[in-house]
Amino acid sequence: MEREAKFELTGFGDEISPELSEQLDLLSSEGVRCLELRGIWGKNILDLDRGDVERARQELRSRGMAVSAIASPIGKVPVDADFEEHLSSFQRALEMAQAFETSYVRIFSFYPPKGEEERYRDEVVRRLSVLAHRAEDAGVVLLHENDEELFGETPERDLEIMQAVASPALRTAFDPGNYVQIGVKPFDQAYPLLADYVEYVHIKDAVLSDGTMRLPGQGDGQIPELLAALKARGYRGFLSLEPHLTADGKMSGFSGPVLFAEAIRSLNKLLQ
């Protein structure tokens, strides 16, 4: 008997506002009951102190909202940066996952010097293997996001990572918009390679001609085709809105409440 698909909407709250209350107001008003935590009150999730964490937990509980993932910046550093120092940040990410009762932490695959990606392949795999081993011990699943200029930006190298690390604690956060921005057709070229590893999906759309962002379904991200394939496969997991509709930076993006609400509605139309 085939498993019935179930999509749970979530989103990067700091694309709505720096204020947690405003993030939750918008998501709740659109019927979204989950939040992907990257930044609140102008702080990155890894920089929250104990008081911040407790305040956020209380506000989430009072609204009946859950955290789908910790959107950490782990792995978004040069591949030759001090790894021991980075591991202390990673430990903080694991602690945030525990504090906010989620089993997912978003990570990246390190910046190699341009043109020297293959030279650093083994070091990337070594580092991600260490992270995956620690995540497995903590009961956490790491979600590798394909992002521009990082080792795993292409579907082929994302697949290399998954096969080389070979850990149930390292899976793929499939981001169609990021693929479009490097000239890859997400459903035609990336999904067939990575379908077995997709654990989480970012909903971000863009156009191939210049990489600019669009509402879900209005770019070249092949999101309708992706959703249909996920449904056919019996995907049961999160669709996380990260639309980047007004600003797109190395560490974060922004849409604002009006455009973020439009993105939720566009996604819901596609799902219907």
Between these two residues, 249 and 130, which has the higher pLDDT value?
A: 130
Residue 169 has phi, psi (to 5 degrees) of -95, 5
Least confident interval from 42-56, 119-133, 247-261: 247-261
Rounded-to-integer distance, Cα 127 and Cα 165, Å: 10
User: Is the Cα torsion angle 50, 52, 55, 56 positive or negative in sign?
Assistant: negative
Report d(CA 156, CA 168) in Å as an integer.
19
Measured CA distances, 224 to 29, 32, 53, 258 (Å): 24, 20, 37, 23
Residue type, 49: D
Q: What is the pLDDT of residues 114-137, one digit of tens each?
A: 999 999 999 999 999 999 999 999
pLDDT of residue 1: 52
Average pLDDT over residues 258-264: 95
Domain range 6-271, CATH architecture: Alpha-Beta Barrel (3.20)
Beta-strand runs (E) in 58-180: 66-71, 104-107, 141-145, 170-174
pTM over 0.85: yes
Please compute, for residue 189, the number of CA atoms within 13 A of its CA located in the half-sphere on the CB side: 17
**Is the distance from CB of 93 to CB of 57 less than 8 angstroms?**
no
